[in-house]
Amino acid sequence: MFQENTSDNCLNIVTTSTEDGAFQESGHGARILSPEEAEKLAKDQVLVSEFKQLKLEKEAQKNWDLFYKRNSINFFKDRHWTTREFEELKGCREFADQKLTILEAGCGVGNCLFPLLEEDVNIFAYACDFSPRAVEYVKKNALYSTERCKVFQCDLTKDDLLKNIPANSVDVVTLIFVLSAIHPDKMHLVLKNIYKVLKPGKCVLFRDYGLYDHAMLRFKSGSKLGENFYVRQDGTRSYFFTEEFLSQLFKAEGYEQVVNEYVRRETVNRKEDLRVPRVFLQSKFQKPFSKTQVLAD
């Protein structure tokens, strides 16, 4: 069992009751690398060529579409943990049966969307994804209903969300394992786009890969695109966030930080005596009320 440690380099809130047998802890300290891990990252400084990087950016949608063609709806598990990790999905109501409007930005094939709709009958969801194939999988799901959700294809870096969602109409935006797939230079465009449809005083709920996650350490030499940014063999990309980078990113687009911390999990395979360190960043950023709204209140 993990022990609480309150030194500057350690996390300071401990949770061990995850349903999959993993240990979990959260707080503001980044994971400390072993000497072997630090040496591996220090040696991996050669970047993918500019030509290939431009090609990957140009073919980003194609590569994600091929990902869903290969894996269908079977790659990711359904995310039944979202209401546990983000109490705002239940707690932001002013009264018990209030209808909530949510946006799942980057819905994939619905692994988060459909568990939410099943669990809470008073949710209407907008959902979008970069991949046309993923959107079609959502629409073919037996649980899909136009009375409960509106799903559409969207490049969040350039397609205006206002074409599908009224301004200032969404109570909660979920941005879960999405921003990491986007080039860091374009991440601010996603946040700017979302800002337009989010109600003042409401929040973006964020969870994504954190610095020194196990997935980051597994990349082989020749996969590095930039600082904390890598490409997989299938052409899809992944960025690994620091607490500071994410905070600056949101604040630059006008959001206020509510919560922003690392979540560390250590999954243990006792049969093989294998420990896998996972690191995520879990955060909440709020669209502020305008000055006129505050005065009116």
- pLDDT score at 28: 84
Contact 115, 79 (CB under 8 A): yes
- Reduced to 3 states (helix: H, G, I; strand: E, B; else coil), residue 95 is coil
Domain ranges of the chain: 40-286
Contact 263, 279 (CB under 8 A): yes
Q: How many CA atoms lie within 13 A of 296 on its CB side?
A: 5
CA–CA dist 280, 277 (Å, integer) = 10
Distances in Å between the alpha carbon of 245 and those of 7, 46, 106, 129?
22, 22, 21, 24
- pLDDT score at 20: 45
Q: At what angle do helices 132-140 and 60-71 cross, to 10 degrees?
A: 40
pLDDT of 17 higher than 50: no
- pLDDT score at 26: 81
Average pLDDT over residues 222-235: 96
Q: Which amino acid is at 250?
A: F
Contact 22, 268 (CB under 8 A): yes
Query: What is the chain's mean pLDDT, rounded?
Result: 85
- pLDDT score at 83: 57
pLDDT of 98 higher than 50: yes
Place of tokens 């995520």: 280
Q: Which residues contact 290 (CB under 8 A, 6 or more apart)?
A: 200
Q: Which amino acid is at 73?
A: I
pLDDT of 275 higher than 50: yes
Taking alpha carbons only, the member of 157, 234, 228, 226 closest to residue 188 is 157
Average pLDDT over residues 120-142: 92
Count the residues in the chain: 297
Instruction: Work out the pLDDT band at 268, boundaries 50, 70, 90.
Output: confident
- pLDDT score at 4: 29
Average pLDDT over residues 59-76: 80
Cα 226 versus chain centre, distance: 20
Give the least confident one: 74-78, 134-138, 238-242: 74-78
- pLDDT score at 11: 40
More confident residue, 282 or 294: 282
Annotation: CATH topology of 40-286: Rossmann fold (3.40.50)
Distances in Å between the alpha carbon of 51 and those of 44, 146, 184, 238?
19, 42, 17, 18
Do β-strands 198-209 and 149-153 pair in parallel, antiparallel, or remain unpaired? unpaired
Taking alpha carbons only, the member of 169, 192, 172 closest to residue 182 is 192
Cα 278 versus chain centre, distance: 14
Give the model confidence (pLDDT) of 179-226 as tens digits: 999 999 999 999 999 999 999 999 999 999 999 999 999 999 999 999
Q: Which amino acid is at 41?
A: L
| Token representation of residue 23 | 């240990």
Instruction: Work out the pLDDT band at 10, boundaries 50, 70, 90.
Output: very low
**DSSP for residue 165:** S
Give the model confidence (pLDDT) of 255-266 as tens digits: 999 999 999 988
SS3 content of the chain, % helix, strand, coil (to 5): 30, 30, 40
